Amino acid sequence: MRPLGGLAVAAILCGCPRPIEPVSTSPVATEATFSGSAALARVRELMQWPRGLGDPRRAASIETLADALARASGAPVQRVAHTAADPQTGSSYALVELVAHVRPRAARRLVLATHFDTRPWADEEPDAALHDRPVPGANDGTSGVAVVLELLPHLRHGLPEDVGISVVLFDGEELGRPDGGGYCMGSRHLAERIAAGHEPVLASAEIGIVLDMVGDADLHIPIEPGSQRNAPALVEHVWAVAAELGAAQFGTDVRPRGIVDDHKFLTEAGIPSILLIDREYAHWHRTTDTIDKLSARSLAAVGEVVRVAVLRWFARERERGILRP
């Protein structure tokens, strides 16, 4: 049994949770529940678009991804281009963040984000001879994108007209080395742009949710310490929804250490953000990070928890006044 953390949601877990598929309708749900099978099919589709740093097919794949984001969001896609260097070799890579603003003039806003790049080096392989092989990235770099794209229509139609969504697909999250830094180059760059006043729509967001590695068939998402510290009300809200829906994939244990991921830089830019991640994924940064390690049930759990949590967050705050996380 995993240890329980100190959040109030532990009390909710004493009851008998409902299974995550199917999930009974919530008071604010006006659309069908999130489909894990559709998200898994989306992963399969995305895997045909190589996005590894240095891959010659990457530019075409990013354009295809931008088209998919435009269709899902119903909004124009902004491309934020920049370069960043491999901290080990100094090699420079062209990166681009994909950003879509649903209802850009809305008075209130959330950021929904993930990274789309896949790791070019399988440096966690036990066999050093495999370290220069690319990581397929079914979970790490694809599962989050699939959930975001499948979630967007639900949120677009379920949120009130005065609430906007800024979707960010980060690049360069994987451009890092163990003990060498360099991770999250896309979110670092976008945070700098926000701080410099170049991204006013993003800067207006009051909360952010970042997804990373959310498809593992043996999914376990503990509470990430940085998220709990910087957006405690949002963490408690999301985990309370997970408990109510019977999403056992969300554990109430708190990780012993925080994670440097894209949520960190959104928070530093003034958007208190949380991270949903299963960092203990057995195939992390290995050539075995393939689609057979994922499950529709895990994707459904994450997608439905985020869907209901976001709709209820803004419905609750409409009734009570804006409650900053």
SS3 of 253, please? strand
Distance CA 122, CA 289 (A): 10
- Answer for the pair 245, 33: CB distance below 8 angstroms, yes or no: no
Fold entry, domain 9-320? Aminopeptidase (3.40.630)
How high is the pLDDT of residue 121?
Answer: 93
Q: In the beta sheet, which residues pair with residue 254?
A: 223
> Band of the pLDDT at 28, cuts 50, 70, 90?
very low
Number of CB atoms found within 10 A of residue 80's CB: 18
Contact 257, 225 (CB under 8 A): yes
Cβ neighbours of residue 186 closer than 8 Å, sequence gap 6 or more? 95, 97, 115, 117, 170, 171, 172, 173, 262
Question: Which residues, at least 6 apart from 134, have a Cβ–Cβ distance to it below 8 Å?
Answer: 52, 55, 118, 119, 120, 121, 122, 287
For the chain, the distance separating the N- and C-terminal CA atoms, rounded to the nearest angstrom, is 30
Average pLDDT, the chain: 89
Token output for 242? 């997970």
DSSP string across 31-85: SPPP-HHHHHHHHHHHTTS--BTT-TTHHHHHHHHHHHHHHHHTS-EEEEEEEEE
Look-up of token digits 């603003």: 101
Q: What is the pLDDT of residue 67?
A: 98
Q: What pLDDT is attached to residue 148?
A: 98
Identify the three-state secondary structure at position 111: strand
The per-residue pLDDT for 180 is 72
User: Mind listing the pLDDT tens digit for each residue in 157-172?
Assistant: 999 999 999 999 999 9
pLDDT in tens, 121-134: 999 999 999 999 99
Say if CB 189 and CB 82 are below 8 A apart: yes
The helix-helix angle for 144-158 and 36-46 (nearest 10°) equals 130
Q: Can you give the pTM of this predicted structure?
A: 0.89
- Residues 163 and 170 sit within 8 Å (Cβ to Cβ): no
pLDDT band at residue 88 under the 50/70/90 scheme: confident
